[in-house]
Amino acid sequence: MAGRSSFGWPRIIALTLAALVATVLPLPDWLEILRPDFVALTVLWFCLLSPRMTGLFHAWGAGLALDAFRGVLLGQHALALIVITYVATKLRLQIRAFPPLQQTAVILALLWINEFLLFWIDGVSGHPITDWRRWLAVPAGAACWPLITSLYARVAARR
Amino acid sequence: MTPHEPDARPLLLGGPAMGLRLIVLAILSLGLMVADHRQNQLAVIRDWLSAVVYPAQWAVQAPIAVWNSARESLASRARIESDNVRLAADNFVLRLKQMRYESLEQENQRLRAASASSSRVVQRTLVAEIVRVDLDPFRQRVLVNKGSLNGVFRGQAALDANGIFGQVTRVGPLSAEVILISDPEHAIPVQVNRTGARTIALGTGSSGQLSLPYLPQNFDVVAGDLLVSSGLGGVYPPGYPVGRITGVGRDPSQPLLAVAAEPLAALDRDPEILLVWFDSTVVEPEPTPAAKPAATPGDAAGGD
């Protein structure tokens, strides 16, 4: 499989790790609130726009790593990510054909589902965060989507 | 190579196999969450995971730490000299205080021995550095570079040079997570130093504010009052500064006061903290007539 596609697992793992690092990199407080969920964006990019290498298992692994990295309930990001990956994979042919703006709107919806699942799990497990500012990361993430796609396409193109 | 390269694999992904995989993985995730939520079932895996993840977390902040230390070592001579003068002056004042403190402590020990109550002073401390990673912008938690291999335990109190900082919530072999007193899920039993009255200070989620929501309208508290830990609950050593009252909102239509306090510990600026060991075996509410027990709903142990 890896032989045919434009890039293999080393690059997938490297990009996923970079996204994990970007998630915990120290930032000033005001910027921290706007920090997009880079892992979700990366997972979505792989399942939408890359040759079909990754899928639910990649999303699940990345989610578990994110849980471990941030020290939250083990499995919550994993669950949220496999749900949006499933939806994105089912709709990938439509989404790929969309113009950029419409694609960004779909990403916004997917990121919102992701955040909502996390919010829900936080509540059920007894650590609710009801601060409205937690939702700011969703539009911030969608705004980053065009950047992420061009950046990752460049990384993928490099031999 | 564009991502649109043609390939021979099926155009439509998914199908029943993918739905099945989703369900299996979702059940696995749910199982993990339930096992993790009911503490200690996953303790071994957690410990192991934190040991695996910690080097990565440390690596994230390493360049920043190197940059800071490089800047520090290139600091101007003038600044180091002025720092030195200031520290020498500080040291002089502290030594004067220390002289008095020692005699006072002796006296205190004798008095406590006379009234047969144990003194709960800090016996051992360990300096832990804060690893500069952002765990969650809406929770006030930090990662420190000491873990169970250094003897750190869950529920251990953490202080900084100015006051109480927080307590340890999770311990890995090499690292530990500390919840700050300003986390919205944290509560610390405190005492108003001026009157000796006890209450509970809750975190608000902002590192500059604590709230004291359980005080009746006739409670004697004014802005500027010092809050110290009362030691009830046994998590924190008693008598250490926690915060200073910044505002008292008296609204006659409300049954309780709206009191805000500012933590004394530099919660968002500390490069390192002190983990402390003290003898918390005796937790006796001393019958002082001045201390009118305030409402203490919920878990008086604080935090978690």
- Domain boundary assignment for chain B: 187-270
A78 contacts B136? CB cut-off 8 A: no
Q: In the prediction, which pLDDT does B116 show?
A: 58
Chain B neighbors of A133, CB-CB under 8 A:
138
A51 contacts B138? CB cut-off 8 A: no
Q: In the prediction, which pLDDT does B184 show?
A: 87
pLDDT tens, B183-199? 988 999 999 989 989 99
B32 contacts A78? CB cut-off 8 A: yes
> Which two three-digit tokens encode residue B48?
């192991």
In whole angstroms, give the CA distance from residue A130 to residue A116.
12
- Domain boundary assignment for chain A: 9-157
DSSP-derived secondary structure for B30-68: HHHHHHHHSTTTTHHHHHHHHHHHHHHHHHHHHHHHHHH
Best residue in B1, B18, B21, B268 to probe A by mutation, most A CBs within 10 Å? B1
Chain B neighbors of A46, CB-CB under 8 A:
none
A52 contacts B9? CB cut-off 8 A: yes
Picking from A51, A65, A129, the nearest residue to B3 by CB comes out as A51
How near does any CA of chain B get to the CA of A9, in Å? 15
Measured between CB atoms, does B57 come within 8 Å of chain A? Answer: yes
A89 contacts B50? CB cut-off 8 A: no
The mean per-residue pLDDT over the stretch A23-43 comes to: 87
How big is chain B by its Cα radius of gyration, in Å? Answer: 25
Picking from A73, A89, A131, the nearest residue to B14 by CB comes out as A89
Q: In the prediction, which pLDDT does A157 show?
A: 74
Give yes or no for residue A62 having a pLDDT over 90: yes
Q: In the prediction, which pLDDT does B15 show?
A: 59
- Is the distance from CB of B190 to CB of B235 less than 8 angstroms? no
Chain A neighbors of B137, CB-CB under 8 A:
29, 32-33, 35
Chain A CA closest to residue B53:
A69
Q: In the prediction, which pLDDT does B269 show?
A: 80
Give the orientation angle of helix A56-70 with respect to helix B16-37, to 10 degrees: 20
Q: Which CATH architecture has domain A9-157?
A: Orthogonal Bundle (1.10)
> Which two three-digit tokens encode residue B39?
């503490």
Domain B187-270 in CATH 2.40.10.350? The answer is yes
B36 contacts A121? CB cut-off 8 A: no
Q: In the prediction, which pLDDT does B211 show?
A: 93
CA–CA distances in Å: residue B221 to residues B198, B244, B261: 11, 11, 11
A21 contacts B60? CB cut-off 8 A: yes
Chain A neighbors of B37, CB-CB under 8 A:
73, 125
Query: Would you write out chain B's pLDDT as a tens digit for each of its 304 residues?
Result: 445 555 545 555 555 678 888 899 999 999 988 888 876 677 778 777 888 888 888 888 888 888 878 887 777 778 888 889 999 999 999 998 888 888 888 888 777 776 655 555 677 889 998 887 777 888 888 999 999 899 999 899 999 888 899 999 888 888 899 999 999 889 999 999 899 899 999 998 888 899 999 998 888 889 999 999 988 888 898 888 999 999 898 888 888 888 999 999 888 887 889 898 887 655 454 544 444 444 444 444 444 4
What ipTM score was computed for the predicted complex, to two decimals?
0.83
Q: In the prediction, which pLDDT does B46 show?
A: 79
Chain B CA closest to residue A129:
B138
**pTM for the full predicted model:** 0.75
Q: In the prediction, which pLDDT does A92 show?
A: 85
Chain A CA closest to residue B63:
A25
A69 contacts B18? CB cut-off 8 A: no
Among residues B1, B21, B16, B18, the alpha carbon closest in space to that of A50 is found at B1
Q: To the nearest 5 percent, what fractions of chain A are helix, strand and coil?
A: 75, 0, 25
Among residues A59, A30, A33, the alpha carbon closest in space to that of A117 is found at A59
A125 contacts B37? CB cut-off 8 A: yes
